[in-house]
Amino acid sequence: MVAKFLSLAIVLVASSAAAQSLEEPRWYGAFDFGGHWPGSINSSSTGRAPDGQPYNWQWRFKSDWALSARLGYRLTRHVRVEGEFSFEPTDVASVHAPGADVAGVSASRPGEPWGLCQTPPAAGACAPLNGPNKYFTADYAGMANVIYDVTPDRRIDPFFGVGFGATHIQMHTTYWFSATPGSSSSTPQSLELAGTLTHAGELALQGLAGVSYRIAPRVRLDLSYRYYFTPGNVIWNPLNLTTGLPATSLLHPGNFSGQFADQSATMGVRYAF
């Protein structure tokens, strides 16, 4: 998959390297604002649930706004390259195992807690993860893009491209296990996700497409769609910091890992200089 993206980037540059530019290459800067729709992470843990198997939880995230800044350079009449930094906040929507919840445990695996709750569970009831923004997650990404402009001399110019770079997902959240099967205590236990969800930077690839509209000789409006993903797994390590219980009673999932993807639609202003 990585090789395909690199090959497409090379083709975009080579396809117009011989084209005669109608103007001198220009630097440009752009700011974009819109929305994004994170995909779910189907994760598996390194630690074992009370039934001796890994935790298999799906992490879902809420849609939210997206902001990006770009600095680029037009190589030829049709091809430009740019660096892009984006910031996309979100909240965790749910974390649970596949299937039904039966008194806080997975219906298919009674030895696995069904998932995480916003507050300590009461009488087997798991409060949904629909709290305020103190349950904070944010995705930072830095990408290098190669973009092909189809009709750069016209007022309306479709474009498409590919990019590669790194993503970093930050989390500051504390949730509660829906149940504690196999524990010697029925006291609710918490799971803290603080700091980084991934390593310092996980490789990310993206495809993008859109259309621009020239509103002045050096100013364009860009309407863009992006889809980006991590070819490898993002990895995070939540900690059980429940106090007042013996260590042998605590549930320790260890590291979780899974692939991440995100889609965004933005409108931006691009200025050539």
Task: Give the pLDDT band (50/70/90) at residue 170.
Answer: confident
Number of domains in the chain: 1
Q: Is residue 94 part of a domain?
A: yes
| Three-class DSSP category at 12 | helix
Q: Is residue 103 part of a domain?
A: yes
Stated pTM of the model: 0.84
The Cα-based distances of 231 to 44, 129, 138, 164, 204 in angstroms read 16, 28, 19, 11, 7
CATH number at residue 51: 2.40.160.20
Domain that holds residue 261: 2-16+27-272
Q: Is residue 138 part of a domain?
A: yes
Q: Is residue 85 part of a domain?
A: yes
Q: Distance between CA 43 and CA 47 in Å, rounded?
A: 12
- Whether residue 215 is predicted with pLDDT greater than 60 in this model: the reply is yes
pLDDT tens string 101-160: 998 999 999 899 999 998 898 876 788 886 554 456 788 899 999 999 999 999 999 999
Q: Is residue 21 part of a domain?
A: no
Looking at residues 207-219, what average pLDDT do you find? 96
- Whether residue 23 is predicted with pLDDT greater than 80 in this model: the reply is no
Q: How far apart are the first and last CA of the chain?
A: 35
